[in-house]
Amino acid sequence: MFASTKEKRAMATAEAKLQKPEFTNEPFVDFSKPENRTAMEAALKKVASEFGREYPMYINGEKVTTTEKIKSTNPSHPSQVVGVVQSASAEQARQAIESAHAYFHTWKKVPAEKRAEILFRAADIIRKRKFETSALICYEVGKSWAEADADTAETIDFLEYYGRQMLELAGPHKVVPYQNERNFMVYIPLGAGAAIPPWNFPAAIATGMTAAALVAGNTVVLKPSEESSVIAAKMVEILYEAGIPKQALQFVTGLGEVAGDAIVKHPKTRFVAFTGSKDVGLLISEAAGKRQPGQLWIKRAVLEMGGKDATVVDEEADVDAAVEGVAQAAFGYQGQKCSACSRAIVSEKVYDSFVQKLVERAKKVTVGPAEDPANYMGPVVSESAMKGILNYIEVGKKEGKLVLGGERAPGDGYFVKPTIIADVSPMARIAQEEIFGPVLAVIKAKDFDKALQIANDTEFGLTGAVYSKNKAKLEKAEEAFHVGNLYLNRKCTGAMVGAHPFGGFNMSGTDSKTGGKDYLLHFLQAKSISEKPMN
């Protein structure tokens, strides 16, 4: 008997799945090894020799440039131009989505295992260019060596993980048998959509969102952040090199409110994958919810937004471990992670010793140019980010007691000292609003229950950590701490693909759980098929 086309397809996917070893996270580079330090130094030199290069957009398979340009500068040394990108008009952004829409009917027919294979190839290419990728991240958005390497490793992880997830989802899925019918369900892609990432995980988030939508069989217009378009351009070049057709992935750079807005509102846009601030996420939610003339579907909006993440330190905690976890989560990458700890809520019985130890620990944090491995903290991403953070510090000085930092650090870059403001009231602005910089508010709580209540009392719900040796209290936190990613006796940053599916509640977003087994479903729709046998 001959196998049907469908059965052959299912066999090919099953075969591809068997051939792939199980997913494991990409190991981090050990920079204590001289050969790795030498490799990173060489990569920094090589990437610096390409400063000022111009990167085109790709629309309808063609390279496109514009008269208006955007210069992407190095926040450690703002006079250095890392690269120059194009500034798309709304019309060009619309052309990109129309072209992606037209190509959808070709791309969706490419078998899942072939699409997955392209992601695995892209992961291999990035592995080979690991140091260069990290060096560029270091220059364009001011990440330290270790933070840049983690971003690169996560990029590889997303590609490897989503490729495997697509192999799981491809092919017919069993349903409950019913009477004399042949019933099954398949997942099919949605159409052409937008990927609109932020700058703070410039390789990982941009590539992860884009690759997830592509491997599911959709076509994508990627509109990266203005702050990190050069890294995005490099990732797009790698995806093309790995085999993604240019019409399946259109690359548009420019202003969010011009190019991003035009893509979101276009009637042919089927979905929007956005990661960024609460305010822009809400704008997109509203714009995507409005039916445009000629629009045939309800747009799907996958929105991952900000946080005001808290670490609760119980009186029964290992205070030293809590101090270390809070210091790393508050000041790693200058506090510019959506998961960063921006509130430490500490039981009054250990409050004074916690604050004193934390200040001592944070005094050891070094700040300066990100390319110098002696610096734990680099610059914040831009002058406007720095101004916003310094404004919040002024507000904080009135709302609590400044116990560390509170000003710029020396240098021509956008350096801000690690800042700790103690005795902050739970409803103060610096305890409620996302600052996105190295500013920590420390809040005193009467007891554990009160601490949890304070932790939950914001509009966000992204990450949270609890330090306690009391099992019952940890269990209470499991149940009551309303965050998408809860960490017990460890820091609230550093989610790993596969191990910590990531996404938040409330104003932190739609809880899409990136790096989790359900993530690809956001880019698919299920079709039920039921066949009555012919007589």
Report the catalytic residues.
Answer: 304, 338
Among 43-51, 106-114, 288-296, 299-307, the segment contacting ligand NAD (CB under 6 A): 299-307
Cβ within 8 Å of residue 21, ≥6 positions away: none
Q: Per rule CB under 6 A, is residue 335 in the interface with ligand NAD? A: no
State which of residues 322, 329, 338, 483 lies at the interface with ligand NAD (CB under 6 A): 338
Give the binding range for ligand NAD (CB under 6 A) out of 45-53, 196-204, 392-400, 423-431. 196-204
Q: How far is the CB of 175 from ligand NAD (least distance, A)?
A: 33
Binds ligand NAD by CB under 6 A, chosen from 132, 314, 434, 511: 434
**Can you tell me whether residue 434 is helix, strand or coil?**
coil
Question: C-alpha angle 295/524/249, rounded to 5°?
Answer: 75
The residue within the footprint of ligand NAD, chosen from 189, 307, 368, 413 (CB under 6 A), is: 307
- Amino acid at residue number 61: G
Structure tokens at 515: 């790096």
State in angstroms the smallest separation of the CB of 178 from ligand NAD.
40
Residue 509 found at the interface with ligand NAD (CB under 6 A): yes
276 binds ligand NAD, rule: CB under 6 A: yes
For residue 72 the two structure tokens come to: 């992407």
State which of residues 151, 157, 304, 371 lies at the interface with ligand NAD (CB under 6 A). Answer: 304
- Residue 146 binds ligand NAD (CB under 6 A): no
Judged by CB under 6 A, does residue 515 bind ligand NAD? no
Q: What is the DSSP letter of 349?
A: T
By CB under 6 A, what part of segment 366-425 binds ligand NAD? none
Site for ligand NAD in 256-275 (CB under 6 A): 256-257, 260-261, 264, 275
Q: Residues 264, 269, 271, CA angle at the centre, nearest 5°? A: 80
- Residues binding ligand NAD: number (CB under 6 A): 34
d(CA 73, CA 227): 8
Q: Which stretch binds ligand NAD (CB under 6 A): 81-89, 93-101, 176-184, 305-313?
A: 305-313
Rounded-to-integer distance, Cα 194 and Cα 269, Å: 7
Residue selected from 306, 325, 369, 516 as contacting ligand NAD according to rule CB under 6 A: 306
Q: Tell me which residues in 197-216 interact with ligand NAD (CB under 6 A).
A: 197-201, 205
Q: Is 193 within 8 Å of 218 (Cβ atoms)?
A: yes
In the complex, minimum distance from the CB of residue 46 to ligand NAD, in angstroms, rounded to a whole number: 27
Single-letter amino acid code for the residue at 424: V
* Interface with ligand NAD, residue 460, by CB under 6 A: no
The interface mask with ligand NAD, positions 56-95, x = CB under 6 A, is: ----------------------------------------
Q: Segment contacting ligand NAD (CB under 6 A): 32-40, 41-49, 135-143, 218-226?
A: 218-226
What is the enclosing helix (H) or strand (E) of 357? helix 351-363
Helix ranges (DSSP H) in 145-228: 145-169, 204-215
Both tokens of residue 303? 């929105």
User: Of the ranges 19-27, 77-85, 277-285, 424-432, which one interacts with ligand NAD (CB under 6 A)?
Assistant: 277-285
Distance separating alpha carbons of residues 361 and 323, to the nearest angstrom? 8
Among 48, 102, 186, 283, binds ligand NAD (CB under 6 A): 283
Q: How far is the CB of 478 from ligand NAD (least distance, A)?
A: 21
Nearest residue to the partner ligand NAD, using Cβ: 256
Q: Is 436 in the site for ligand NAD (CB under 6 A)?
A: yes
196 scored as a contact of ligand NAD (CB under 6 A)? yes
What minimum distance in Å lies between the beta carbon of 514 and ligand NAD? 7
Nearest-approach distance from CB 209 to ligand NAD, in angstroms: 10
Least gap, CB of 127 to ligand NAD (angstroms): 23
Closest contact distance (angstroms) between CB of 220 and ligand NAD is 14
Per CB under 6 A, the segment of 59-67, 195-203, 321-329, 395-403 that binds ligand NAD is 195-203
**Which of 399, 391, 438, 453 is closest to 422 using CA atoms?**
399
CA–CA separation, 91 and 139 (whole Å)? 31
Question: Rounded distance, CA 300 to CA 340, Å?
Answer: 28
Strands 69-74 and 77-86: antiparallel
DSSP-derived 3-state class of residue 82: strand
- 518 binds ligand NAD, rule: CB under 6 A: no
Decide whether 413 or 461 has the Cβ nearer to ligand NAD. 461
Shortest Cβ distance from residue 139 to ligand NAD (Å)?
Answer: 18
Q: How far is the CB of 170 from ligand NAD (least distance, A)?
A: 26
Angle, helices 130-141/229-242, rounded to nearest 10 degrees: 160
- What separation in angstroms does the CA of 299 have from each of 46, 189, 279, 523? 43, 13, 19, 11
Sheet of 485-488: strands edge to edge?
A: 401-404, 419-422, 439-445, 341-347, 309-313, 463-467, 485-488
CB 101, CB 268: distance < 8 Å: yes
Structural tokens at position 114: 């072939």
| Contact status, residue 175 vs residue 181, Cβ threshold 8 Å | no
Q: How far is CA 129 from CA 135, 139, 145, in A?
A: 10, 16, 15
Residues that bind ligand NAD (CB under 6 A): 196-201, 205, 223-226, 256-257, 260-261, 264, 275-277, 280, 283-284, 304-307, 338, 434, 436, 462, 502, 504, 508-509
